[in-house]
Homo-oligomer: A and B are copies of this chain.
Amino acid sequence: MSVRRHIHTSGIPVLCVHCEARHRGVCGALDPDNLVGLAKTCSRRQIESGVELIGDAQAVDSYSNLLSGVVKLTKSLSDGRQQIVGLQFAPHFLGRPFKVESSINAEAVTAVTLCSFPRAAVERMMKGSPEFEHRLLKQTLNELDEAREWLVTLGRKTASEKVASFLLMIARNIDSSVDPVARSASFDLPLTRAEISDFLGITNETVSRQLTQLRADGVIRIENTRHVMVDSMSRLRSMAMPSLSQKTDSLDRL
């Protein structure tokens, strides 16, 4: 149908022409033919904050590109304790290849736009296009690096260092001024205090206290509990206690 016929830009489906996933995501690996094939099976969806993406019927059997918004991945213990094991920002490829059942839950923490594909279509694409799998490998290696960075944070940092590290990570990912060595930054927190605490392995009370402390120290200002303005990125960085190695790391992430 229309997806296939509207070919003006050297054979790229209209849906994909301005899509971030084609520029910075996995779809960049695909040539126009593959893109057309995949685009035929895709469906764009708007999802509101708080909706489960994996584990409910709709998405368990599909892969998606995250086109906008933020998704959290969580794991839970049987007694209710919860840990956020990943935060994903656009454009990110969602879904766990080669595994039927995942012990991980995914939930939209902001309004989210997805471009979803049937499981089978993506797996065919992976078989057919080495470059596609190559991108996936790169993304997975980056996720692994990030997870290991958080292992250090969870295992060896104090509460205040954890909160500072968290703010830096958010700033890196959703501040409008993308400069990694900026002097100041400003962004909306995608997570509630309780979610931040589940990310950092502390309680929401402790998160609250540490944010208050940072405000008292003049490092940040907060408006409407969600909007954070970092007045001194350098002080925030020093509070996050970055290792020397971490410093080099943050520069070539992304």
- Of A76, A137, A140, A249, which is in contact with the most chain B CB atoms at under 10 Å from its CB? A137
Binding site for B on A (CB under 8 A): 73, 75-79, 81-83, 85-86, 96-99, 101, 103-104, 130, 133-134, 136-138, 140-141, 143-144, 147-152, 154-157, 198, 200-201, 241-246, 248-249, 252
Enumerate 19 A-B pairs (CB-CB under 8 Å) in ascending A order: A73-B148, A76-B243, A76-B245, A77-B246, A78-B244, A81-B156, A83-B151, A85-B152, A98-B141, A103-B246, A103-B248, A104-B148, A133-B134, A133-B137, A137-B140, A140-B141, A151-B154, A154-B201, A155-B198
Copies in the complex: 2
With A75-B148, A77-B241 already in contact, 10 other A-B pairs whose C-beta atoms are closer than 8 Å? A75-B152, A78-B244, A83-B152, A96-B141, A101-B248, A103-B248, A140-B140, A147-B147, A150-B151, A155-B201
Q: Give the distance in Å from the alpha carbon of A83 to the alpha carbon of B148 in the complex.
A: 9
Q: Give the distance in Å from the alpha carbon of A133 to the alpha carbon of B140 in the complex.
A: 12
A103 to chain B, nearest CB (A): 3
Pair A148/B86 contact, Cβ less than 8 Å: yes
Pair A241/B151 contact, Cβ less than 8 Å: no
Residues on the B chain within 8 Å of A82, using CB: 156
